[in-house]
Structure 1
Amino acid sequence: MSDALFSIFPNERFVDLSLYQFGWEACEPLHSYGPFARNHYLFHYIISGAGTLQSTNSEGVTHTYHIKSGQGFLICPKQINTYSADEDHPWEYAWVEFDGLKAKEVLELSGLSMDSPIYRSNAKDISALLLEEILYIARHADASPFNLIGHLYLMIDYLTQSSASRKIIKGGSMRDFYIREALSFIEQNFQNDITVEDIANFCNLNRSYFGKIFRDAVGKSPQEFLITYRMMKAAQLLKMTELSVGDISNAMGYPNQLHFSRAFKKIYGISPRQWRTENKIPDKRT
């Protein structure tokens, strides 16, 4: 049996970048995982040994990559993948699953994508710091959420700095302005019965054009992001308050509790009641 660490991040309050799961594993020969598709970004750093990744590109074509120690690989949301350890030199890796408003942007800086998933270092000293941060996260599941998020930001910084495929992206465009306006509108109105049309109108943009630039910048359609944002806020209320599921459903703009429960389960994999049971913070008052 493989030696491994596995942890789930205990907090849902971070929007720009947030952790979901993280861990470390020394795999047995030919140990494999998949085929599977993730809901978030997943980055593996190979500490020792080697293995194989099979993953689809942006056109749905499957490619095979042989990866060794000192390299890494990225799995993107909804990308079908299978990865397996080498028979003679099985890999040991550490991994972090993350997402957020800035995730797609920072990964573009690193040059990693569905079409170019393999991390290769051009700076050994910085890639050593990258591994150090991933291992810190994997080994400190009991640290505070702010502590772990801080190390996630450091990890992302070292990833972009050391990636051999790093790109320079110019900022300050009108697209960035519109995206900030859209996100601000969603943040202030998510509890109301707003539509993608409402958000596009607020930005004075054609809905089709708005949808395109939003997906390019955020990595999700406006509708997908709005639902995810609402469910993130709902999870926070389930965890921190005594409000009923019905009250939280209404607060998230879902007068129909069944529709709310279905949307929540699609994001978190379990019902709101079950999520609360597993994540509710105990009342420490005496």
Structure 2
Amino acid sequence: MITVTNCGHDSRHKTGFRIIRKTGVPNYILLLVKTDALFEIKGKMIVTEPNMAILFDKNTYTHYGSNMGFYNDDWIHFDFKDEPCLLDTLNIPFNQPVYLPFISHLSAYVRQLVQESNTPSKHKDAIKDTLMRTLLFSLDSQIALNRNASGDQKYITKMNQLRNEIHNTPQKKWSAQSMADYMNLSISYFQHLYKHFFKISCIQEVIQARILRAKFYLKTTDMSIRVIAELCGYDNELHFMRQFKKFEGITPSQYRSYSR
């Protein structure tokens, strides 16, 4: 089980804030830093930018604080009890700043951790363990996403927002041009970046999102194929049926029959 010994969400400190732990602490420390800050890394003080995470190993010297303005972070002290260290299976570096496209997602988990820590609950420890695992897996995924983005990292946050929007609203009249316009990129460069980031073309992404939504409706409702086609962004039932069979190998009606 992952044990959270202490944690804080959206902690704010005035100019001059400093933390120095000469011998560290006997547990892991994860910080999500939302402002400019100063961190001592390998004996040198460096200025870090907002939306940064840093994971300190156990018993490790730490020195950080505000850089001119106020300092704002989320923080967690945690360890592993009666199980192998999950961190050994992840690619989260120790004692090194990493910049994240979706730090707000991680911050939401910390907020829930703080709430669970301060609320009487029958399943408090299990909930905190689950939240902590989800946070670490999400952090690892964001680090991998940034690594894949390489020199095009400045586009990754907005590109992910676009991808989420595609899957949230597959019924919209998506086109490569409209997506490129959203990103303020030429259509050719946008298509190149999209495939580079997600290993799939933007149009294939739209089709997959529509098929996934259709499968959900087919499994969970008695709506007609025509209505489902419309709800998933298809202009006509025949086009939907052909595309569904191309990707799933069976017709929508057969899928409905097999999934019940």
TM-score normalised to the size of structure 1? Answer: 0.38
Structure whose alpha-carbon radius of gyration is higher = 2
Would you tell me which structure has more helix in proportion to its own residues?
2
